[in-house]
Amino acid sequence: MKITILGGGGFLGRKIAATLAAEGTLDGRRIAELTLFDITAPPMLAAPFPVRCLAGDITALPDDAIPRGTSVVFHLAAVVSAAAEEDYDLGLRVNLQGALSVIQACRTLVRAGDAPPRVVFTSSVATFSGGQFAQLGDDTRQVPTNSYGAEKAAAELLLQDASRRGFLDVVNLRLPTITVRPGRPNKAASSFVSSILREPLLGLKTELPVADDFAVWIASPRRAVEWLLHAAAMDTRAMGVDRAINPPGITATMGEMLAALDDVMTGGSSFVQHVRDPAIEAIIGLWPARFEQTRARALGFASHEPMDEMIRAFINDDLAATRAERGI
């Protein structure tokens, strides 16, 4: 089988690629070729199959980004939340026009006689509102309160309709806030959720822009990769028309996260300074922090690990590479 990762230079794209390279198969099928595509060419990796690393614009995908015979497309490319709020045109272009470009590329394959490829799309908890005390069911209506969430929700609908029409076979995975992210802080409004754990583990001071009792819906990189790979291999017939999944993350307050950090690293929370940021609160404060998980569990998505295990996983998987990347 041939697989493409759009956004293959991002941290989730790299982790998916590394897992596929290590295993050599997906759902028991041998991988014949992997294409990694991003705005700059992703780094090459060793694999038991050919790997192509391409650079380009997600809104104008070259034909070889999703070549003939592609079975699975991971569509991870995005402009993150605060950046999309700051630059409306850029968010629309990448987050919405990018999805349309993926649909058109898949239509081209089907018109040429290929089977509709499975498309795994990373949507977001930001497509919902309701705030801190809402608990959302599987059929809750999406009412985003930020441009990023609106663009992701619109892309979900377009991809779902394209799936209904037989151009592709989509699973829209509404990821929680991923933590602990390796590397550096980014322009996501939720970037601090990783920073308050990652920076102390690096021996660096950082700021917490919300109160200790502020709650978020989170997932670890390990679990997110597992969910994405499951979405690529699962039987979608059980999903029916609704192709979106709220995967089984966990709810955590900032205080609970800092307590877990102290359990793993004595005194870790002393590196975190409370500095309230109304602009950040205005974006992320309306995101819900609690979801029912009935449908995701019925479809085979794995439960989440406890917070201390999530932190230890970052130490084992990503801390050394993050130190090297940041010259620490």
The answer, yes or no, to whether the previous bond of 193 is cis (omega within 30 of 0) is no
Question: In the structure encoding, which two tokens stand for residue 62, read together?
Answer: 């070259």
Question: In the structure encoding, which two tokens stand for residue 57, read together?
Answer: 């614009």
Active site residue: 11, 121, 128, 148, which one? 148
Residue with tokens 């809104």: 59
To the query of whether residue 148 is one of the catalytic residues in this protein, the response is yes
CB 239 within 8 A of CB 172: no
Phi, psi dihedral angles at 190 (to 5 degrees): -95, 10
Q: What's the length of the chain?
A: 328
Q: Which amino acid is at 252?
A: A
Q: Where are the alpha helices (DSSP H) in the chain?
A: 11-23, 81-86, 88-91, 98-111, 147-164, 191-201, 221-233, 254-264, 278-284, 294-298, 307-317, 319-325
Known catalytic residues?
148
